[in-house]
Amino acid sequence: MGTPPSSADDLAHLFGDLAVELEGQGDPETVVQEIVRSSVQIVPGARWAGISLIAGDRVESRAPTDRVVAHLDQLQSELDEGPCLSAMREQRTVRIDDLATDGRWPRFADAAMHCGVRSLVSFRLFVHRGSLGALNLYGGAADVFDDESILIGEVLAQHVSVALARLNAEARFQRALDSRDVIGQAKGLLMQRNGVDGLHAFRMLLKVSQETHTKLVDVARRLVSLHESGLSQAG
């Protein structure tokens, strides 16, 4: 998977091979990294690539193929503007054929050209509602991205979106398991201390949660933490 496709048949075979390769990866984090790495090899004009995600009030750089990519993400986070941010916020593809003549983000353009970047394209990632991301491809010369680059990039962005959605789902599932475990521990402590059954212990946790306006899992986590702290001091 080292050269850009030269025909429609090449393009079809390329995505067929990529689909088989990604299917065999299993781990969505590995899939994301593989797609970004592959984008530099197969998208005409792409020299560097990476993923930008908005995390709170900053831009998080994921799977950058070069430190230049991470630097440009950090720069846009500091400036609170730039093509990648616009792609995410406005939910559209942003293409710059020549940073030297594009006047939309002059501060970003100057810094990017200083790093050797002359052109770029950012594809909005559809991860899940409330989550913003972009697949960013950078070129070292002007006018290196053509219609074929956009077509391939859009397909790769779709693959990234699916992989990131899987990552988010797995993270939510793990948090749910962790919450269930810590609530179970807290219930067990209350049952032992107060000689009550599981339902009564759960109601005790719920009552404290409601009265203190604290999430149930945080109440449980605090109780378990205090218990473990007491054990360590006693030891």
> Which of 139, 168, 197 delimits the end of a domain?
168
> Which of 118, 149, 168 delimits the end of a domain?
168
Would 3 be classed as within a structural domain?
Answer: no
Do both 145 and 177 map to the same domain?
A: no
Would 2 be classed as within a structural domain?
Answer: no
As a whole number of angstroms, the distance between CA 115 and CA 175 comes to 39
Do both 118 and 230 map to the same domain?
A: no
> DSSP string of 69-109?
HHHHHHHHHHHT-SHHHHHHHTTS-EEES-TTT--S-HHHH
Would 72 be classed as within a structural domain?
Answer: yes
Do both 190 and 126 map to the same domain?
A: no
**CB neighbour list of residue 222: distance below 8 Å, 6 or more residues apart:** none
For the entire predicted model, the pTM comes to 0.68
Do both 163 and 179 map to the same domain?
A: no
Find residue 58's DSSP bridge partners: 55
As a whole number of angstroms, the distance between CA 157 and CA 151 comes to 10
Do both 158 and 214 map to the same domain?
A: no
CATH number at residue 31: 3.30.450.40
As a whole number of angstroms, the distance between CA 6 and CA 120 comes to 21
Do both 162 and 204 map to the same domain?
A: no
Do both 39 and 74 map to the same domain?
A: yes
Do both 155 and 105 map to the same domain?
A: yes
Do both 154 and 220 map to the same domain?
A: no
Question: Given phi > 0 = left and psi -120 to 50 = alpha, else beta, which region is 3?
Answer: beta
Give the residue among 101, 148, 150 at the shortest CA–CA distance from 121: 150
| CB atoms closer than 10 angstroms to residue 119 | 25
What does each of the 235 residues of the chain score in pLDDT, given as a tens digit?
445 555 545 554 555 455 545 544 557 788 888 889 989 999 999 999 999 988 777 888 999 999 999 999 999 999 999 999 999 888 899 999 999 999 999 999 999 999 999 999 999 987 655 557 899 999 999 999 999 999 999 989 988 888 887 766 766 677 777 888 888 888 999 999 899 898 888 888 888 888 899 898 898 889 888 888 876 665 5
Q: Which domain holds residue 105?
A: 8-168
Do both 73 and 93 map to the same domain?
A: yes
